[in-house]
A and B are shown apart, each in its own frame.
Chain A
Amino acid sequence: MRVLYFAWVRQKVGKAEEEVAPPAEVRDVAGLMAWLAAQSPGHAEAFANARTIRAAVNQEFARPDQALAAGDEVAFFPPVTGG
């Protein structure tokens, strides 16, 4: 599973993307966030307040309860501020 980070989430995690292989009990976006938070101090800081983070699965906005599959591209980022 490919995970991408943007804006301050990327800065806190310390990388723009990574390949991860979470255990089978990680089934949805919220589960992946909790698992990622335990991967490093940077991840922990990035995901400390999950409510401030938005997600996309395969380049579509996704809710915390969205199910994940092994080949998905998952992205985490702050609420968008373009325009």
Chain B
Amino acid sequence: MTPSIRIQEAPFDLAEETAALTAGREDVGGLASFVGLCRADDGLAALVLEHYPGMTERAIARIAAEACARWPLTGCTVIHRIGRLPPGAPIVLVLTASSHRAAALESCAFLIDWLKTRAPFWKREEFADGRERWVEAKESDDAAAARWDAA
């Protein structure tokens, strides 16, 4: 199974991606998905997402390979959007499929936790009044990622 990894400006379609992981298969017992959305904090007008082309794909491929090594997955899709996204817009999709629910649920949580701390993306916030600010990394994200180290 080769994980599907895409970096794109365009929106993604959860139903379409789900269908792609189940079409023609009878061994999938569970699908887990995480969709991260642009939240309108403090009068946010838009998030602008930047990444490191080349390294991003490589980093996510490594994270997905780690997930596949830890859990018996039948499918795995990671889509991360870049560019200017308004409040409410989907930013990231993690989709995992497995014969059993625990593997799907746990690997999905693992993928988004590691992606947040190990994939080279940066968010800039643009506000309605013209201010802009780079989002700072959160210690809580490091802690969420670290809980998988002992696993």
Contacts and interface: CB of A to CB of B under 8 A. Distances in A.
A59 B115 contact: no
Contact of B123 (A4, A56, A59, A81): A81
Interface residues of B, number: 27
B143 interface: no
B92 interface: yes
Nearest to B111: A83
Contacts, number: 69
Given A7-B50, A59-B54, A77-B52, A82 B120 contact: yes
B5 interface: no
Most chain B C-beta atoms within 10 Å of own C-beta, residue among A7, A60, A77, A82: A82
Interface string B113-148: 001111111111000000000111100010000000
B55 A75 contact: yes
B147 to A, nearest CB: 15
B129 to A, nearest CB: 19
A24 B52 CA distance: 28
A35 interface: no
B137 A82 contact: no
B52 A56 contact: yes
A82 B49 contact: yes
Q: Is the interface on chain A under 10, 10 to 19, 20 to 34, or 35 or more residues?
A: 10 to 19
Contacts of B84: none
20 contacts: A4-B52, A6-B50, A6-B120, A6-B122, A7-B122, A7-B124, A56-B52, A60-B55, A75-B52, A77-B122, A78-B134, A80-B117, A80-B121, A81-B116, A81-B121, A81-B137, A82-B80, A82-B120, A82-B121, A83-B116
Interface of B: 36, 49-52, 54-55, 58, 80, 91-92, 112, 115-124, 134-137, 141
